[in-house]
């Protein structure tokens, strides 16, 4: 008598590394089910290694939560995807810009956080831009950011009506028959 081998569900871990929070969750490989969502503050002041340790801890917790919810095994987890606001390179280090005043960097094994890491992150982003004119535009934006608060930069550029997505994209609302 032949027995049919049961297909085991597989899972993927997703990591969102942001300037304020790190969010980690699991989902079935087909994307239909979500499990074990966890979130903690990024705590950029801990530096690159500290933030990496927080990510590893969250991933471990999400795996355990998912196993508890689904009776999965560790080998059922087939991958981890990480979204980050900067490059992550195992050999050269990482550079992550975490918002207006925070960053972590580990260029060539040197641990940086705060303004020194911000300088490295912005330098890397400038270097990565394809054209000199783009670099100058971004440098001017960076300098404006240093001297003026963001609210000054965005004040009065467009009216509230113009800022609406539908208006900016030129989308006309269709009126339904009988609707006023």
* Residue 82 pLDDT exceeds 80: yes
DSSP strand pairing (77-83 vs 11-17):
parallel
CB 104 within 8 A of CB 117: yes
The residues spanned by each domain of the chain are 11-168
- Give tens-digit pLDDT for 117-156: 888 888 887 887 878 888 888 888 878 877 776 554 444 4
Domain 11-168 has CATH 3.30.420: yes
Which pTM does this prediction carry? Answer: 0.56
* Residue 74 pLDDT exceeds 80: yes
3-class DSSP state of 102: coil
Single out the residue of 12, 77, 89, 7 nearest to residue 48, CA to CA: 89
Least confident of 28-37, 59-68, 85-94: 85-94
Angle at 58 between CA 122 and CA 109, to 5 degrees: 40
């Amino acid at each position: 008598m032949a027995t049919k081998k049961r297909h085991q569900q597989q899972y993927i871990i997703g990591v969102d590394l942001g300037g304020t929070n790190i969010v980690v969750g699991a989902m079935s490989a087909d994307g239909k089910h979500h499990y074990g969502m966890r979130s903690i503050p990024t705590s950029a002041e801990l530096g690159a290694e500290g933030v990496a340790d927080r990510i590893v801890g969250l991933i471990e917790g999400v795996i355990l939560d998912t196993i508890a919810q689904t009776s999965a095994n560790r080998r059922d987890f087939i991958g981890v995807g990480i979204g980050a606001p900067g490059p992550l390179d195992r050999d050269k280090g990482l550079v992550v810009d975490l918002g207006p005043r925070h960053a972590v960097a580990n260029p060539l094994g040197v641990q940086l956080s705060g303004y020194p890491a911000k300088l490295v992150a912005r330098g890397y982003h400038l270097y990565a831009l394809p054209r000199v004119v783009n670099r100058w535009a971004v440098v001017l934006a960076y300098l404006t950011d240093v001297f003026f608060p963001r609210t000054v930069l965005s004040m009065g550029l467009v009216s509230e009506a113009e800022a609406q997505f539908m208006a900016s994209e030129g989308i006309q609302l269709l009126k339904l028959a009988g609707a006023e």
